[in-house]
Amino acid sequence: MLTSSAAAAIASPFTALYAATKAFVSSFGASLAVEARHRGVDVLVFHPSPVASRFYDKAHRLDVLDFFKGVAVHPDALPPLVFGSIGKTVWRDIGSTALGFRLLMKVVDYNLMATVTALAAPLLPDFKRAVAAGGGGDGGKGKKAA
């Protein structure tokens, strides 16, 4: 059983390292499931929506985190869903955020979604604060990547 995240499914500004590691966990788990199944080993990668926990107490202040905190899944909801999925599926999305992200990526091409996110990000308050603090790219001014 591997814990990934709904963030594995989409471009995630300001949480790029987190999203990248979760995308790795998802891909690794799916590949491992193929290799191990014939030996009777079940592999489950679950993608919980944000979980209502103390994580938010010490997380960087981002408006998007405040939004996700408001739609977080209660931790007590996870065990029966996770353990009930073992042996039945390889990936399990839990909660409205995980299901919504997965559905969105079925309807909208990933490249299009990443491009729209890149174009819209400079309009968001989190992005503007990051640029003002000396991070977050060039503020959408079209600076070419190296």
Q: What is the DSSP string of 44-81?
A: -EEEEPPB-STHHHHS---HHHHHHHHTPBPGGGHHHH
pLDDT at 139: 43
Residue 87: its pLDDT value, please?
93
Q: Please answer whether residues 14 and 35 qualify as being in contact, where contact means their C-beta atoms are separated by less than 8 angstroms.
A: no
CB 29 within 8 A of CB 4: yes
What is the Cα–Cα distance from 32 to 26, expressed in whole angstroms?
10
Residue 34 has pLDDT above 90, yes or no: yes
Residue 142 has pLDDT above 70, yes or no: no
pLDDT of residue 60: 67
Residue ranges covered by each domain of the chain: 2-111+118-132
Q: Would you say residue 113 has pLDDT above 60? A: yes
From CA 73, how far away is CA 76, in angstroms rounded? Answer: 8
Taking the C-alpha atoms of residue 108 and residue 23, their distance in angstroms, rounded to an integer, is 18
Q: In the predicted model, what is the mean pLDDT of residues 119-143?
A: 74
The share of the chain scoring above pLDDT 90, in percent, equals: 52
Residue 107, CB-side half-sphere exposure with 13 Å CA sphere: 6
pLDDT at 88: 94
Which pLDDT value is given to residue 52? 80
Query: Are 37 and 13 a contacting pair, CB within 8 Å?
Result: no
Mean per-residue pLDDT, 22-35: 96
29 phi, psi to nearest 5 deg: -60, -40
Q: Which of 8-22, 62-76, 102-116 is the most confident on average?
A: 102-116
Look up the pTM and report it: 0.78
Look up the CATH number of domain 2-111+118-132: 3.40.50.720
**pLDDT at residue 146 in the model:** 45
pLDDT tens digits for 42-97? 999 999 988 888 776 766 677 777 777 778 888 999 999 999 999 999 999 998 88
